[in-house]
Amino acid sequence: AALAIFQPAGLGGFDVYARKNNSSNLKNQIKSANIRSRIIKYTFLISPIYFVLTIIMSILLILSGDRPLVAVIHAMSTFSTSGISNVSGLQGANSGIIGELLIALFLIFAISRFMYQQDSEGRGYRRLKKDKEVNIMIILIIIIPSLLFLRHWFGAIEASESFSFQSGLSAFWGGVFMVISFLSTTGFESEHWSASQMWSGLKTPGLILMGLCVLGGGIATTAGGVKLLRVYVLYKHGIREMTRLSYPHSVAGAGEKARSFRKEGAYAAWIFFMLFLVSLALIILGFSATGIKFEHSLILAISGLSTVGPLINVAGDGSLNYSQISDIAKFIFCIAMVLGRLEALAVIALFNPNYWSK
């Protein structure tokens, strides 16, 4: 749907590619795009890739020790970034750390669309190396688990002697997997996450996980959140504005594409980010009106907008459960999930009369 519908309309993350000289043609692009043929085209293009990869991953999980049904469900959950499990998560699986390694590897498809869309420069490794979304993921994978690992000697010194090298390695992997899982908005919890919490001495790392969910994965993927490409565009725009503070008359280079990212792309990304924050505030207000306390309202709102259902199990204090909230709160949560999946900007565009005018 992202490639067939949102791309020609400049929505769903593709808005950052908008250029000033092409903005006047947007309406004609939307009208000329044959939505039905595009859906058929990308269905036949993407479906075999996901089908084959799901089979491969299922076989690998079975060889790692999982039962066939568990392996298939976890494989499908990985590619759909839904975090669904029939054994209460990865703790109930038999594949152990090998299964987590496989899931982390295949979650790359929730970060980048490089496997099925030919719009990046270069091929193979060079193409992946230039993928900004993958680069951001790698940076976060390095920084966040490293900070949690190093906090053992700064925030939990009194417990440092009770841990071995093996427990430290287990703790570091738990942090790495959780970053990948929640950045891709999948929500699988690592079997070693408790070891990571004990090692770092950080009892409630929920704010970190919620931040990762808000960042989200790549555009034109099954991941939710703000999307990493928008974050990158806003970052480049911020760097450019800071440079202009020192050199007001400077001219930025790096080509037309980079300039459009810093101008029109940043403008579109900022509009979406504001809409995301407004939606988040309204949903939190709605949950609070039903009697849910602010901390739980924040977790529920981010969980819904970023489409990460398992977030409430790891971000809170353990007292939050979907079965405990009222029917009105569940209805608000459904609205949040729809907004999170379709994106607020796309919903507004659908209700814009100019979008449907002939």
Task: Work out the pLDDT band at 151, boundaries 50, 70, 90.
Answer: confident
pTM for the full predicted model: 0.83
Query: Does residue 40 carry a pLDDT above 80?
Result: no
Confidence of residue 43 (pLDDT cuts 50, 70, 90): confident
User: Which pLDDT does position 121 carry in this prediction?
Assistant: 55
CB atoms within 10 A of CB 220: 24
Confidence of residue 284 (pLDDT cuts 50, 70, 90): very high
Residues of the chain with pLDDT > 90, as a percent, come to 33
Q: How many helices (H) and strands (E) does the chain have?
A: 18, 0
CA distance 289 to 253: 50
State yes or no: pLDDT of 94 exceeds 70: yes
pLDDT of res. 163 = 62
Kindly report the number of other CB atoms within 10 A of residue 354's CB atom.
Answer: 8
pLDDT digits (tens, 9 = 90+) for 230-246: 888 888 888 888 888 88
Q: What pLDDT score does 23 carry?
A: 46
Residue with tokens 């976890």: 74
Are 218 and 113 a contacting pair, CB within 8 Å? yes
Q: Inform me whether the pLDDT recorded for 304 exceeds 90.
A: yes
* Closest to 212 (Cα-Cα) out of 140, 160, 161: 140
C-alpha dihedral sign at 114, 117, 121, 124: positive
Which pLDDT score, from 0 to 100, does residue 351 have? 66
Per-residue pLDDT band for 186 (boundaries 50, 70, 90) equals: very high
What confidence score (pLDDT) does residue 27 get?
46
Which tens digits make up the pLDDT trace of 26-35? 445 444 456 6
CB burial of 149-185 (b: ≥16 within 10 Å; e: otherwise) equals: beebeeebeeeeeebeeebbebbbbbbbbbbbbbbbb
Average model confidence (pLDDT) across the chain: 80
The DSSP H or E segment spanning 127 is helix 124-129
The pLDDT assigned to 264 comes to 73
User: Domain map of the chain by residue range?
Assistant: 1-121
pLDDT on residue 357: 58
Predicted local distance difference test score (pLDDT) of residue 350: 65
Question: Considering only 16-25, 105-114, 208-217, 283-292, which range has the smallest mean pLDDT?
Answer: 16-25
Residue 353 has pLDDT above 80, yes or no: no
- Do the Cβ atoms of 192 and 173 come closer than 8 Å? yes
Question: What is the reported pLDDT for 155?
Answer: 60
pLDDT at residue 95 is higher than 80: yes
Look at residue 8 and tell me whether its pLDDT is greater than 70: no
Query: Could you give the maximum distance between any two Cα atoms of the chain, in Å?
Result: 72
H or E element: which one contains 51?
A: helix 35-63
Instruction: For residue 33, give Cα distances in angstroms to 4, 7, 41, 207, 350.
Output: 9, 10, 12, 41, 16
Span of 95-109, 215-229, 291-305 with lowest mean pLDDT: 215-229
Across residues 32-57, what is the average pLDDT?
A: 77
Assign 24 a pLDDT band (cuts: 50, 70, 90): very low
- On the question of pLDDT at 258 being above 70, the answer is no
> At 166, is the pLDDT very low, low, confident or very high (cuts 50, 70, 90)?
confident
CA atoms within 13 A on the CB side of 227: 27
Mean pLDDT of 105-122: 69
pLDDT category at 78 given cuts 50, 70, 90 is very high
Residue 11: phi and psi, rounded to 5, are -125, 175
- Helix H, strand E, coil C: the string for 280-293 is HHHHHHHHHHCCCC
- pLDDT of res. 282: 94
Encoded tokens for 159: 């417990």
What pLDDT was estimated at residue 13? 52
